[in-house]
Amino acid sequence: MVFAKSCRNCTVRDSALCGVLGDEALAPLAAQGLQRTLARGDVLIRAGDRAPLCANIQRGLMKISSINPAGDEVIVGLLWPGDFVGTPFLAAGPAPHDVVALTAVSLCLFPQGAIERSMTDHPVMERQLLTRALAELGQVRGALSRMARATALARVAGFIAETARRGDGCGRHDGDRVAEIELPLSRGEMADLLGLTIETVSRQITQLKAAGVIAVPGGRRVVIQDPAALAEAAELLV
């Protein structure tokens, strides 16, 4: 990795974990990094792997999933641009989940030891990881609370809005607003993630379309015609 080319011009540096470091402090870590691209369906980490690695996602979207006792895939989370993958300072046991590209993905890959040394040398980076972990825990708790009270329409609208807001590489921008996105999940995967049935997801998309909030030109493409109405629908509670 050439630092001046890869890190200084990184599109997610301000939101990435290593963004708290200045150029000089970041250079030793960058020297051990590897830029990698993944195609949709490529596996970064497979459940059971013991290879300790960490990564910053620069572009694209990934899913964290596992297989339940019945043999069905369960999506337990999504990773967006700027998100960090890895568990520094934890013993290198078998990975509990698969981490798989949902779209074309660009990321910076680091040995876990390199991240740990950088955090030891620069406590501000360690504090940033703790801050992010606590924030994500709060978001998960909030999401679980909302999920218990949110309507099916709110869950689907919220997912579409989140994809438009965070899903770099999933959308076509019209100025500062995403005019069109491509949903990274199938309706079945959306149903799994949102705790709904496929039929319910389809009904909510049809309802948003009928209300003029979105248009669905074909496939997974969604045109957001009324962002304010989409945001309002995402807040509906039972």
Shared domain for 8 and 101, answered yes or no, is yes
From 57, 54, 53, 44, select the one nearest 11 (Cα to Cα): 57
Distance CA 51, CA 233 (A): 42
Query: For the chain (length 238 residues), average pLDDT per consecutive 10?
Result: 62 83 86 91 90 87 89 87 87 83 92 90 90 81 71 92 76 59 90 91 96 92 92 77
Shared domain for 116 and 36, answered yes or no, is yes
pLDDT in the model for residue 8: 73
Shared domain for 211 and 192, answered yes or no, is yes
pLDDT in the model for residue 177: 56
pLDDT in the model for residue 174: 56
Domain span holding position 102: 3-145
pLDDT in the model for residue 153: 94
pLDDT in the model for residue 238: 47
Distance CA 204, CA 168 (A): 24
From 50, 47, 25, select the one nearest 112 (Cα to Cα): 50
Shared domain for 185 and 83, answered yes or no, is no
C-alpha distances (whole Å) from 46 to each of 89, 134, 154, 170, 229 are: 20, 25, 32, 24, 39
Shared domain for 7 and 50, answered yes or no, is yes
pLDDT in the model for residue 20: 85
Which amino acid, 174? D
Shared domain for 139 and 191, answered yes or no, is no
117, 145, 173 - which closes a domain: 145
Helix-, strand-, coil-residue percentages of the chain, each rounded to 5: 40, 25, 35
Q: Is residue 238 part of a domain?
A: no
Number of domains in the chain: 2
